[in-house]
Homo-oligomer: A and B are copies of this chain.
Amino acid sequence: MTHVKDKRPYHHGDLRQAVIETAMTMLREGSGSGFKLREVARRAGVSHAAPYKHFADKAALLAEIALIGFDSLRERIIAAQERFSNDIPSALLATSKAYIAFGQENPDLYRLMFGAKIGAAEDVHLDQRALGVFEIVIDLLERGQAAGSIRTRPARGQAAACWAQLHGITMLMLDGLLIPEKVGDDAIEAALETLQEGLSA
């Protein structure tokens, strides 16, 4: 325990975790273009090369953080659709809104999760933690089909349609491209309505 004398010990204790948390804090602050590895180290009170003892490179850290993001997104979505257990279309709409809100509240994290900066994007998106979010939607659609409120189509394809629509809305929004003069004042509502109408029986 290095007899405590206030001076920082040579070893951090749990850098790796500290690095992840610091990086996520910086993402939340929304500096704009993600975070710099060196600045993370600086804030964690450690030298600029220390993180490399825990992560092969920046992409590896990004991948780790992306998975945490998916956990968070998952919770958000589950919470949103909880109170619509039997009204599938409403649950679906709540899910859509939760997804978009997640993006709006965590712009840099969202970009990181679905961006190309991660090294092995496949590994991340096929991980159960990311896959799980997608499966929630598939499940919802299948239940809707069984209940007769959702059009009968392969649910996986419908889920892909949902994902694309939501990702498109979120990205356009984050990049400031949903300009009222161009797309009107309620572009998001319109896009969600079109999606619902394309899915409902």
Give A residues with C-beta under 8 Å from B.
114-116, 121-122, 125-126, 131, 134, 151, 153-154, 156-161, 163-169, 171-172, 174-179, 181-184, 186-187, 189-191, 193-199
Contacts and interface: CB of A to CB of B under 8 A. Distances in A.
Nearest to A195: B198
Copies assembled: 2
Contacts of A171: 114, 167-168, 171
A59 to B, nearest CB: 12
A158 B166 CA distance: 15
Contacts of A169: 164, 168
A179 B190 CA distance: 28
Contacts of A157: 183-184, 186-187, 189-191, 193-194
Q: Which of A164, A165, A167 gathers most chain B CB within 10 Å? A: A164
A176 B134 contact: no
Given A165-B168, A168-B168, A190-B153, A178 B160 contact: yes
A1 to B, nearest CB: 45
B115 A179 contact: no
20 contacts: A114-B177, A126-B179, A126-B181, A153-B193, A156-B183, A156-B184, A157-B191, A158-B194, A160-B191, A161-B193, A161-B194, A163-B168, A164-B172, A165-B165, A165-B168, A165-B194, A165-B195, A166-B168, A197-B197, A197-B198
